[in-house]
């Protein structure tokens, strides 16, 4: 999988907008702003909502791009003065709106820390303070990215599939939740913990979801079966199989003294397996309550979570080595000017004549945003020192490059949060930098000026921060009791926030007693160090036998996939495997024309329709917006317990 990105591409057949079309098309109009603002609000609300869902399904850029195109064409047909309707909708207007929307949807990452502080520790800073912190952290990633810088048939297909998914999703989400997780094994085999651990998967932390089926695209689509390359999916399947065997055996043989703890739990636990008491062990200023810790004991993690985090730490460090070894030729071109003008992207050439934003502006923005974020950390009594914050920021620059290469290969974000919790700051900067880099490339592809792209990103990020914070507080206020339950209720769960709080607390307060050499969880920093070395043998073997395929063994993807064994609700994995094999192998191989024309459009439509349906159902009938929940009567497709009828201890 770690094959090099081609740099000797012949751009002679690449299509570019001719000068006349480029000159005639406008970018920033009232309608492009209106479309961008609407999609930013919807995309931001959906992205934040899924932080509280059993699976963390992201709002993909293609969904927002097609949504902007469809909405833009609707607005195009609304008559009005020229300032409102200057003529036919241009592709540049759609791209401008889409960049704004994707920037807003990506704001979710910086809000998780604020949500965890509110839910777990009972601290709620002022809204303006939260907004400033969220905005500052994202602007750091925005600045770093700046420094490093469809047909009618397809649209018709998108509308039809989108509408069908929108209507259908009401069935597994509200009418018949048992369709989310169909497990014959839980229905027929004895109700024992071992059966639940292996076959359960309808709730967060229930089990591994082996041989379960799902008819809910929320659970299935979260694995990306329609757009993740088959080679990457196969690596993920192999890693998942290995992880299931490893975690089952580790729990059976009491690794990390976790045999008496829950099999999967994202909460911090005490020695008896119950939730760790933060109130008794953490002072209001974020420091350790020594007397309380002496009474309760040190916090614990479930064995499966430790193994999953070990895989993520291996992935993060190995991604740096993989990038340097296998992609050094491409990385080095960033720091030197190409002597061959034919190798330069023609879209980049055309963009040179547009109004650009100087890199000094991004450098100044990064500096100011960093200063603002550091002040927020100090004011919030987070316990994060200036030295730790600066170290984490500098490290994020390196991981931003590694994350960009990883995303370019497999189409997935590199999960860096575990590393930055170890260093003292979340991985928001890396994720935002990767997202912003995609937007910059999209703007360059359609020859938007750098100034237009920067404006769209700035507006989208600002509005997105407000939408994310508002959505988060709305759900926390209306569903706090449910979110306090480790498993959730199948509709809402706090596993993302509790996992973040658990990692940040242990690294911040108990690192020497949990992660230092000789301590119970020393494997985590060891894995991070070992990861730097793991790709080296593969690189040497590749140099020895260049055609043997050693460069296709993606170490970061394999190790990061270990966490997927336990992440969220797991019942959709097997269905995603079948769909991925059918589309990425059979359709792509035997019906390539249809695949190229419709596969990604259908993927975007399924994701978009499903996500909008979940947003509407959560707000209108499931109590997410503060309204009274309309409870569906209990029957065999709407059980009171887990949807797959597995036995779960509470």
* Tens digits of residue pLDDT in 291-339: 888 888 899 999 999 999 999 999 888 888 888 888 777 666 655 555 4
* Distance from C-alpha of 195 to C-alpha of 220, rounded to nearest angstrom: 22
Angle value at C-alpha 421, between 466 and 563, nearest 5 degrees:
95
Residue 435 lies in a domain: no
Tell me what the mean pLDDT of segment 456-473 comes to: 85
Phi and psi angles of residue 213, each rounded to the nearest 5 degrees, phi first: -120, 155
Q: What 3-state DSSP class applies to 418? A: helix
Band of residue 150 on the pLDDT scale cut at 50, 70, 90:
very low
Q: Is the pLDDT of residue 514 over 80?
A: yes
Residue with more model confidence, 82 or 330: 82
Tell me what the mean pLDDT of segment 587-601 comes to: 89
pTM: 0.81
* Distance from C-alpha of 196 to C-alpha of 267, rounded to nearest angstrom: 19
Residue 418 lies in a domain: no
Residue 597 lies in a domain: no
198 sits in which H/E element: helix 193-199
* Distance from C-alpha of 166 to C-alpha of 583, rounded to nearest angstrom: 22
* Distance from C-alpha of 135 to C-alpha of 466, rounded to nearest angstrom: 9
Question: How many distinct structural domains can be found in the chain?
Answer: 1
**What length is written for the chain?**
650
Q: Is the pLDDT of residue 16 over 50?
A: no
Residue 444 lies in a domain: no
| Residue 251: CB atoms within 10 Å | 22
Q: What 3-state DSSP class applies to 64? A: helix
Residue 623 lies in a domain: no
Average pLDDT of the chain? 79
For 232-257, write each residue's pLDDT tens digit.
899 899 999 999 999 999 999 999 99
* Distance from C-alpha of 564 to C-alpha of 232, rounded to nearest angstrom: 13
Q: Which two tokens stand for residue 255?
A: 């690794």
Residue 628 lies in a domain: no
* Distance from C-alpha of 87 to C-alpha of 342, rounded to nearest angstrom: 36
* Distance from C-alpha of 379 to C-alpha of 286, rounded to nearest angstrom: 12
* CA nearest to 449, candidates 55, 68, 95: 95
pLDDT of residue 347: 46
Domain limits for position 47: 26-107
* 249: CB partners within 8 A, 6+ apart: none
Residue 293 lies in a domain: no
Q: Which two tokens stand for residue 455?
A: 């404006």
Q: Are 230 and 586 in contact (CB under 8 A)?
A: no
* CA nearest to 561, candidates 201, 223, 323: 223
Tell me what the mean pLDDT of segment 611-618 comes to: 88
Residue 539 lies in a domain: no
Provide the H-helix boundaries in 297-385. Answer: 303-326, 328-332, 346-351, 359-379
Residue with more model confidence, 157 or 137: 157
Q: Are 475 and 615 in contact (CB under 8 A)?
A: no
Tell me what the mean pLDDT of segment 284-296 comes to: 84
Q: How far is CA 442 from the centre of its chain?
A: 19
């Amino acid at each position: 999988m770690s094959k090099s990105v081609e740099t000797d591409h012949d751009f002679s057949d690449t299509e570019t907008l001719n000068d006349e079309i480029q000159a005639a098309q406008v970018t920033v109009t009232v309608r492009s702003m209106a479309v961008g603002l609407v999609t930013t609000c919807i995309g931001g609300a959906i992205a934040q909502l899924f932080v509280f869902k059993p699976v963390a399904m992201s709002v993909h850029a293609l969904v927002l791009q097609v949504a902007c195109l469809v909405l833009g064409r609707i607005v195009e047909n609304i008559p009005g003065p020229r300032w409102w309707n200057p003529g036919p909708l241009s592709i540049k207007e759609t791209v401008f709106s889409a960049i704004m929307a994707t920037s807003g949807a990506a704001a979710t990452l910086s809000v998780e820390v604020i949500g965890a502080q509110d839910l777990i520790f009972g601290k709620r800073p002022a809204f303006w303070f939260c907004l400033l912190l969220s905005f500052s952290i994202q602007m750091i990633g925005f600045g770093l990215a700046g420094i490093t810088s469809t047909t009618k048939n397809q649209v018709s297909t998108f509308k039809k599939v989108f509408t069908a998914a929108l209507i259908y999703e009401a069935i597994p989400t509200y009418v018949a939740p048992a369709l989310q997780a169909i497990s014959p094994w839980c229905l027929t085999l004895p109700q024992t913990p071992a059966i639940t651990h292996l076959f359960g998967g309808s709730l967060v932390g229930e089990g591994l979801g082996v041989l379960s089926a799902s008819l809910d695209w929320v659970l299935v689509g979260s694995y990306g079966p329609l757009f993740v390359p088959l080679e990457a999916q196969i690596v993920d399947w192999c890693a998942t199989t290995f992880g299931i065997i490893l975690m089952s055996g580790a729990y059976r043989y009491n690794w990390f003294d976790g045999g008496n703890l829950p099999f999967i739990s994202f909460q911090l636990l005490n020695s008896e397996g119950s939730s760790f008491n933060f109130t008794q062990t953490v002072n209001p200023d974020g420091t350790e309550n020594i007397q309380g810790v002496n009474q309760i004991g040190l916090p614990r993690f479930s064995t499966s979570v430790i193994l999953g985090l070990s895989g993520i730490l291996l992935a993060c460090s190995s991604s740096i080595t993989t990038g340097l070894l296998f992609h050094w030729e491409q990385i080095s071109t960033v720091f030197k000017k190409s002597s061959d003008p034919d190798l330069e992207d023609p879209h980049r050439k055309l963009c040179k004549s547009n109004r650009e934003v100087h890199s000094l502006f991004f450098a100044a923005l990064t500096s100011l945003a960093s200063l603002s974020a550091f002040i927020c950390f100090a004011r919030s009594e987070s316990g994060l020192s200036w030295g730790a914050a600066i170290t984490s920021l500098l490290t994020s620059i390196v991981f931003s490059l590694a994350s960009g290469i990883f995303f370019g290969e497999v189409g997935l974000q590199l999960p860096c949060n575990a590393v930055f919790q170890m260093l003292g700051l979340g991985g928001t900067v890396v994720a935002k930098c990767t997202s912003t880099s995609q937007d910059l490339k999209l703007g360059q592809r359609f020859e938007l000026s750098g100034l237009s792209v920067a404006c769209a990103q700035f507006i989208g990020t600002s509005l997105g921060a407000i939408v994310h914070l508002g959505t988060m507080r709305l759900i926390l206020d209306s569903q706090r009791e449910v979110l306090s339950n480790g498993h959730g209720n199948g509709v809402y769960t706090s596993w993302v926030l509790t996992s973040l709080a658990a990692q940040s607390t242990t690294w911040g307060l108990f690192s020497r007693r949990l992660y230092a050499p000789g301590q119970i969880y020393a494997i985590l920093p060891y894995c991070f160090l070992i990861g730097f070395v793991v790709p080296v043998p593969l690189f040497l073997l590749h140099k020895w036998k260049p055609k043997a395929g050693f460069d296709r063994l993606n170490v970061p993807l394999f190790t990061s996939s270990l966490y997927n064994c336990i992440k969220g609700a797991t019942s959709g994995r097997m269905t995603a495997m079948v769909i991925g094999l059918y589309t990425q192998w059979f359709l792509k191989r035997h019906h390539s024309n249809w695949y190229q024309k419709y596969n990604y459009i259908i993927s975007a439509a399924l994701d978009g329709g499903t996500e909008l349906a979940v947003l509407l159902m959560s707000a209108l009938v499931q109590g997410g917006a503060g309204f009274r929940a309309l409870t569906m009567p209990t029957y065999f497709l709407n059980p009171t317990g887990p949807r797959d009828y597995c036995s779960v201890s509470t």
